[in-house]
Structure 1
Amino acid sequence: MRIDQYLWAVRYFKSRSIASKACKKGQVKVNDQIVKPSREVYPTDKIIVRKDQINLSLEVLDIPKSRVGAKLVDIYRVNTTPKDAFKQNELQNLAQDYYRQKGEGRPTKKDRRELDDYTEDPN
């Protein structure tokens, strides 16, 4: 089975075209090699997918015939992603939320002046 089709079948991507684009961008590695979407996947392959700034790693156990339900995904893969990968992403999101709320847009002129006053050299 193709890598893009496999990632779609085990529900890492919503559609096969999104999985294919991720492969073309170099966000998918099989056995530590960047792959094209047409690369065949076999049991015991180790896959790393870069998604939402997290490197998700998995090991292929079996190849599904088609897209599987969410409860059956664990039959076809083993999730080997370390737990600290998710914690690091949470900290990054908290830092972004503290700086500026989503939807506020660019800093205003007043915001820029306040930043300049804050970062200005006291000499």
Structure 2
Amino acid sequence: MSNARDRVRSLRARDVKPGEDDSGPAETPDPKIRERSDPNRRVRQTVDLSEQRHKELAAWRMETALALGVTRVTTQDVLAAAVNAILRDPTVARHVRAQIETEKEQEELERRRAKSR
């Protein structure tokens, strides 16, 4: 019966290539750390919506596609345009910030009501 130390040695031995020294763990670069960041690299973002909001957004996207004369408008298109509008237009940014504040206040009120029951 092998113990944990024997299993670790066995796994380490499988990873050693011929001619390599097994004197210690090899330094493997952390994939989360990049030497230089590419400013054009895309970063994925997601958003959680209620089923109702998802349906409303889908309907708005279809209406927008028709108005633009294109086959479809994706959620990616909508979110990218929204982010660009927020970052480029201070009026839009203030409006979005106020909306977030209102929604956060509403969430807090609902939490307090639920807690007091």
TM-score where L is the length of structure 2: 0.30
Bigger relative contact order (CA 8 A; separation at least 6): 1
Give the helix-richer structure, 1 or 2: 2
Report which of the two structures shows the higher radius of gyration computed on alpha carbons: 2
Give the strand-richer structure, 1 or 2: 1
TM-score where L is the length of structure 1: 0.29
